[in-house]
Chains A and B, each alone.
Chain A
Amino acid sequence: MIDQLCDLSARAVFFPVRHHSPACARHVRALARAMKPAAILIEGPSDFNDRVRELYLPHTLPIAIYSYVRLEDGARRGGYHPFCEYSPEWVALRTAKELKAVARFIDLPYADIANIDATANRYADRGLAQSKFVARLCQRAGVETFDELWDAHFEADRDLPLEEFVRRAHQFCLHSRLMDDTVSESDRLRESFMAEQVRAALKEFKGHVLVVTGGYHSSALFARLNGLDFHGTKDPEREQDAPPDEGERGIALTPYSYERLDSLRGYNAGMPNPGFYHQAWRDAEAGRTNTHRELLARVAKVLRRAGQPISSADLIAAEGTAQGLAQMRGRTAVWRSDLVDGITGALIKEERAYNMRHPLLDAVHEVFRGGERGELAKGTALPPLVTDLKKQLAEHELEPRQVPRNADLDLEKEEDRERSRVLHRVRVLGIAGFSRTEGTDFAQRGNLVKLWERWDVKWSPDHDATAVEAARYGAALLDAAAARLTERAATIDRNAEDAALLVLDAAFAGLSNLAGEFAARLAAIVRSDADFFNVTKALGHLLYLFVHDHVLSTSGRSDIGALFAETYARGLWLLETLGQPSGNEREATTGVAALLDAFERAGEALNFDRAELVGVFERVSASAHTAPILRGAALGALWTLGESDAHRARAALLLFADPARLGDFLTGLFALAREAVQRNPDLVVAVDQVVAAFGDDEFLEALPALRLAFTYFTPREKHHLGLTLLGALGIKDAASLTKLEVTAKEMAEALAFESRVWDAAKKYGVRLGDE
């Protein structure tokens, strides 16, 4: 089969590409020029064929063909076919024009398979990258990633002859295909469709046909056309869904950026480091060598800008090491990983934490990412987002005008809520001219009596530019906002509260569910946060959304519930390892209260395990290495849960009968068991006994924290506790106590003074009162 695949004189020649590979781009052009095909068939959305002309306008790359669709269940999906100047598909298009050959896309419209294939980057390398063959080759070659393997075999050697390149690529892709366990349904449907297009083209055109597709598909297409039995060419049985209505799907050009291209991960990943390959492509085009030197110079520039200049001696050392590495790896020129390793080896002079960033490597990555941002040529249809934006703003009477105006929204009214959602989407996308100036603070939740917002709406000169810019996030306002939020989630580093606030933003924007990648990322953030305070604050926000909200349509939603449960579990664990929260003891009780609250309000709905919660509180309350305030809080929580009682609280008091600890312990206890304590006022009598045993200095030491502890009670409650105490002490006339109008500070000073008097009296042998 390999020999047939590599026959470059066949009527239909299959050229296997890795998307975004400059080497493939170069060779596909050479092949096309040599074989002068009548048609070049390219893996790309066939529903764009009638508009291929638009691609030939003088755009600034990168740009993408964006396909979008609304599925039957209401979910929206979008897919990109991104093009850089070194993309094989792009170069194939240009070469077709040069050769006056027909250029045609042959893939299924994305909208037709979006329901079974959510991969947004339509030029991802999933098939190749995931194959066991590649994993095994990497292992044998001792490289860590598919990208390095690809570099070593296909990119780094510019002088590889065309035939050799094609043979190698076919061999590589064929084996990857054969060792892939399952060829997905979507791939089989697409291949069936593509094969059909090739067949039709062979009928339609007299001459040769060049078929440019991902290498993973080449062999399968060849097999289908030649009626061969081949792995993964069985057509799936599929009842055809009714195609989505017009208006529910669309396709258009949209600007793209290297930053976005480089940020793709997982299923969506393609070739990384567009900045590197861009430069490598340009150098090869111009016949220049020494790409690495230019890039190294740029790294130096980035570092200088960041205030971390590196000397020329350093640069020489880095280059020397890079060259040594290239040589050892059997390459003629310094390539991507040689440069990274050269810089790492020669210039980093300290320990590198595992998987951690380093300013030097950040600079390298910035250069490797590249800063190119695409722009559509004048005369291209406006990106769909801009059209949708105009429509939505008009529908809700929110168009920006020269004269600024306010929009006051009452969130209890559905129509105002819808306007609010539109405005929040616009805000999330950073489209100029709209700002929320006042309204209910849902993050603080101080006052939730009136739920409202005030927005400033005015035309801004940046409005159009920012709208076009935002078009890269999607075709419809809602999708684009969702994509933007997902992107923002990717930039949050271990801060659960930030993640929860992002969920709040998603709720404002009216995202009816936290879709796959977004939800996964949020959960990952929560899991990676090791800060008890962040996590319990996040819990508070999510509790509001899941239980209390009635205007954002989030209460009871299962996606929010899932994140809430994740956050709760994380909070419990962190509580147990918290130990001594120095400085913010008070907040720690708030955190414990948030956990208890979460359990009490949502535990049933979400099946929280009571025994687990009790177990954690038990261990915390008993742990000798834990701060008294936390132990008190844990005990208080147990009491509130009905898992502890006044008897145990009294016993615990004795453990904390130490002026440095008593107040803190009680603060924790009272914060979490306010009601239980009131029901058992004799606890205060026990406290009194402990305090009575203190000496004066000890009492003064204990006083501030004791005072704090009692602030958890309202004046009424304190009065009640006071009466109980006086009753127990046999003091009838309590009225005089309440008349005392001094501040605690004055009181403390008075006591301190009194204590000094006592000391002085003792020293001079004076007997005072009834000592």
Chain B
Amino acid sequence: MKTLYLDYSKCIGCGTCEAVCRFVYQVPRIIMTRTSYGLHVPLYCQHCENPKCVKVCKEKAIFKDDLGIVRLNEEVCRGCKTKNCILACPYVAIICTGRDNPVAKCDMCVSRAGLGPACAAMCPCDALIIGDSRELQKNQSPAAREAHERVRKYIICPECPSPGSW
């Protein structure tokens, strides 16, 4: 299954991914954040194997397509008040737009007719790449694994990491 993979050890937080996504879709579906400690963490859809957002959407507006891409059918989304999809996503990847289409999410640029994800194309550091999720996991560099672990630890407990300890 093709996925958008981020090598945290290469990301410098320049925000090009978010900028390009914003240009293409007006509301960006990948959002660059930085922890107070200085880790760069772009938030975007991981196209989970068992997506929680799909489960909680009563209208079935969010679905997983044949390629494994988790997509939003805007026609079916009623913009319900509860916005359970936003709450359910552990990656903060469902975006509240404040516009007519109340939520947005990454669809790996399927609408760009074969051009592929714009964010990955423009990443100056090759931090964001498209590839087979299993292959990518397997071929992860030690630096990438370490950086990912650092981010994961932070997300689990923002107060915990003792800066000198890694």
A binds B: no
